[in-house]
Amino acid sequence: MPHKIVLIGRPNVGKSTLFNTLIGERKALVERTPGVTRDRLYGEAEIEGRKVTVIDTGGLTPEVEELFSHEILRQAEEALAEADLVLFLVDARTGLTPLDERIAELLRKKEKPVLLVINKVDSKKEVLNLGEFYALGFEPLLPISAKHKKGLENLRKEILAHLPEETEEEAEKSLAPIRVVILGRPNVGKSSLLNRLVGYERMIVSDIPGTTRDSIDTLLELPDGRQYLLIDTAGIRRRPRIKARTEKFSVDKAFEALDRAEVAILVLTAEEGITDQDQKILSQIEKRHKACIILVNKWDLLDGKREEGNILMEQIKYGARFVPWAPILTISAKTGRRIKEVLPLVDEVYAAYSRRVPTAQVNRALEEIKRERALYTPSGNRLKFYYATQAEIRPPTVVVFTNYPEEIPKSVERFIKNRLRNYLGFEKSPLKVVFRPRR
């Protein structure tokens, strides 16, 4: 989870101007959390290569400032709870105000690091007024002009110096959210599932434009900071309103979304099991080496019909045999059955998808495979496999050096892939195998 920097200050000091400057071109997300007075703006920023989340607490207009100063303090207090670093903004042009002093008092009571940022120092003229801000009790004073982008380099430097150390684990976690796409034929329950998923969890949404004009992604953040970007949810989220029964499942659009995802969730139903259409989707998932989960929805329809359930499960496993690494989970978006297991399963397949195996282990597996049987090209040349290494994660990709890389038959490729998957423990992840000439 990136560390969080919260902008605090009375209205009109320039919080949103600074917010926009820090996040640059990136999109801001609006959080709507029940119990929080106002929408908070969340933005991702990169400060000297380090990812941070910047939070703007929003504000009221100056006219109501006096009336609502307690409200402003309350918002500041709420936002403070999750701050790793506070940027306390004041305005050099208006000078020190009583509300600034009250905010300072609040901040002194908390044990969060605070940087006192004096905004609107556009020129030397304002520099002369800085002295009075020492009264707030925070040093050093950091003069900036958010509007004219002055003093920002120094501010960034100070931010970096005052953020808590980033552990390796945090560095790993601060990577982008897991990109998930929910696929399936119309009426299998995709929107019901999505509503369940976002319904359970605190949601930082929302409408992040995707690649095409009408595609929208949804960002889901759990209270512990794990994030999922649900790709191309436009159709899914809109559906309850448009709900056209005639709507055609757009294969092209689904595959475009699949390209952007890391984990594909294919939704089937207990009514129809696995259909040709589903198999086509799965083969695309396989071809693109995406991590995958198969959800069999509407399992409530099979309550008390155990035998039927077993038969259906066998049918699905058989139909999905070419993606043996995709776990199958039976759920009911209607009753909530096992919905809580969905995101943990996403984490699990993603972890497998992100796994790196040491080269020595890859080569031991290769030796085992060579011992199992001799392999040939279609023209009868004996294939030799010299050496292998895992070159990539997501998807895990093993490069195998061989004498005839261009002539490896599909069957041999499949054999090696499956064996490597087993030997290297990629039970829940696809494995990509690339053949290269010996060097």
Among 1, 16, 110, 422, binds ligand GDP (CB under 6 A): 16
To the question of whether residue 300 is assigned a binding role by annotation, the answer is: yes
Strand arrangement, sheet containing 432-437: 385-392, 397-402, 432-437
Neighbours of 293 (CB within 10 A): 21
Contacts of ligand GDP in 308-337 (CB under 6 A): 332-334
**Residue listed under structure tokens 């990577």:** 175
Among 290, 298, 421, 428, binds ligand GDP (CB under 6 A): 298
119 binding ligand GDP? (CB under 6 A)? yes
Q: How many CA atoms lie within 13 A of 437 on its CB side?
A: 2
Contacts of ligand GDP in 158-187 (CB under 6 A): 184, 186-187
Between 316 and 408, name the residue whose CB sits nearer to ligand GDP.
316
**Residue listed under structure tokens 């297991």:** 341
CB of 423 to ligand GDP, least distance (A): 38
Between 329 and 391, name the residue whose CB sits nearer to ligand GDP.
329
Tokens of 35: 């119990």
The CA-based angle 370-374-378, given to 5 degrees, is 125
Among 85, 87, 118, 188, binds ligand GDP (CB under 6 A): 188
Structural contact between residues 437 and 386, judged by C-beta atoms closer than 8 angstroms: no
**Helix axis angle, 359-372 relative to 410-424, nearest 10°?**
130
Q: Which stretch binds ligand GDP (CB under 6 A): 140-148, 156-164, 347-355, 405-413?
A: 140-148
To the question of whether residue 122 is assigned a binding role by annotation, the answer is: yes
Structural contact between residues 177 and 185, judged by C-beta atoms closer than 8 angstroms: no
Which residue type, as a one-letter code, is found at position 55? Answer: I
Write b or e for each residue in 242-256: b if 16 or more Cβ atoms lie within 10 A of its Cβ, otherwise e: eeeeeeeeeeeebbb
Pairwise CA distance, residues 210 & 225, whole Å: 22
Between 270 and 424, name the residue whose CB sits nearer to ligand GDP.
270
Between 120 and 179, name the residue whose CB sits nearer to ligand GDP.
120
Between 8 and 85, name the residue whose CB sits nearer to ligand GDP.
8
Among 31, 46, 122, 256, binds ligand GDP (CB under 6 A): 122
To the question of whether residue 60 is assigned a binding role by annotation, the answer is: yes
Between 16 and 97, name the residue whose CB sits nearer to ligand GDP.
16
190 binding ligand GDP? (CB under 6 A)? yes
Whole-Å CA distances, 16 to 56, 58, 64, 115:
7, 8, 18, 17
Q: Which stretch binds ligand GDP (CB under 6 A): 12-20, 71-79, 107-115, 354-362?
A: 12-20
297 binding ligand GDP? (CB under 6 A)? yes
Pairwise CA distance, residues 300 & 258, whole Å: 28
Structural contact between residues 388 and 400, judged by C-beta atoms closer than 8 angstroms: yes
Pairwise CA distance, residues 43 & 26, whole Å: 7
191 binding ligand GDP? (CB under 6 A)? yes
Between 14 and 396, name the residue whose CB sits nearer to ligand GDP.
14
Between 100 and 400, name the residue whose CB sits nearer to ligand GDP.
100
12 binding ligand GDP? (CB under 6 A)? yes
Which residue type, as a one-letter code, is found at position 209? Answer: P
CB of 60 to ligand GDP, least distance (A): 8
Which 8-state DSSP code applies to residue 165?
P
CB of 256 to ligand GDP, least distance (A): 18
Residues with Cβ within 8 Å of 340's Cβ and at least 6 positions away in sequence, in order, are: 200
146 binding ligand GDP? (CB under 6 A)? yes
- Which positions lie near ligand GDP, rule CB under 6 A? 9, 11-17, 59, 119-120, 122, 145-148, 184, 186-192, 236, 239, 297-298, 300-301, 332-334
**Annotation: binding site:** 9-16, 56-60, 119-122, 184-191, 232-236, 297-300
